[in-house]
Amino acid sequence: MRHYVANFLKRLATFLELFIAFMMSVGIILLCLRMASNLTNIPNLDVWPNFTDLLETCFNLIIGVELIRMMYSHSPDTVFEVLLFAIARQIIIDHSSSWGSLIGVCAIAALFATRKYLFCEFDISDQIILRSSMKAKSVARILDIQLPHKGNETLLDVFLQKCEEYDIEVGVGACVYFTDFGLRAAKTHDGKISRIEVIRSIH
């Protein structure tokens, strides 16, 4: 039951993120159209948009686009780009203090240094340990994965078939891989696999 609830909440959160991203996209498109229709006013500094207003609006829209990317792509790179544009906007638009600009430049340098020396390539994964006796079709439905199975096969049946197909020795730690997830023998009882871990990438 806990897995059903967790999977439902995960799907709900994903849907809400995509819905918010969609609304933001519509808003950005409408603002872009409004800005395009007012470009003839640029020579008149007393009417929106003048060049400063145009620059500020463009930066805000770019940051909005990067936020949309961050919502559907949960990766350190998208967070980095949002922060980079936000700091760059502050430096370029706000000319109130040279010290503020210097701090902004140092912040950008720190971001690039962090990206170069501290970022590493990895897949953020979601691990769930299940009983090996669970029906494969139930696991596929609960976790929303493409788990190949026939009839009333259990998770263990699918795991053993894959091990036999690739000549993998069955035991704790043995892994088999599918398109977007993997199965790993997590625990044995009386010489039989009793728990299987489902490992999914969440990118």
pLDDT band at 122 (very low <50, low <70, confident <90, very high): very low
The single residue listed with the structure tokens 């902004």 is 104
CA distances from 181 to 74, 187, 202 (A): 18, 19, 10
| Tens-digit pLDDT profile for residues 101-116 | 899 899 999 999 888 8
DSSP line for 3-34: HHHHHHHHHHHHHHHHHHHHHHHHHHHHHHHH
On whether the CB atoms of residues 143 and 198 are closer than 8 A, the answer is yes
Domains, the chain, in order of start with CATH, read 2-117 (no CATH), 125-201 (3.30.465.10)
CA distances from 23 to 30, 63, 67, 81, 159 (A): 11, 15, 12, 21, 42
Q: Is 6 exposed, middle or buried (0-12, 13-18, 19+ CB in 10 A)?
A: middle
Q: Where are the alpha helices (DSSP H) in 73-120?
A: 76-93, 98-117
Single-letter residue type at 7: N
What's the whole-model pTM score? Answer: 0.56
| pLDDT at residue 149 greater than cutoff 80 | yes
- Please tell me the chain's helix, strand, coil percentages from 3-state DSSP, rounded to the nearest 5: 60, 15, 25
**Average pLDDT in the 112-129 region?**
71
Report the share of the chain in percent with pLDDT over 70: 92
Instruction: Note the pLDDT of residue 125.
Output: 57
| pLDDT at residue 165 greater than cutoff 80 | yes
On whether the CB atoms of residues 160 and 177 are closer than 8 A, the answer is no
**Average pLDDT in the 10-20 region?**
85
| pLDDT at residue 100 greater than cutoff 60 | yes
| Tens-digit pLDDT profile for residues 19-51 | 998 999 999 999 999 888 888 887 777 777 788
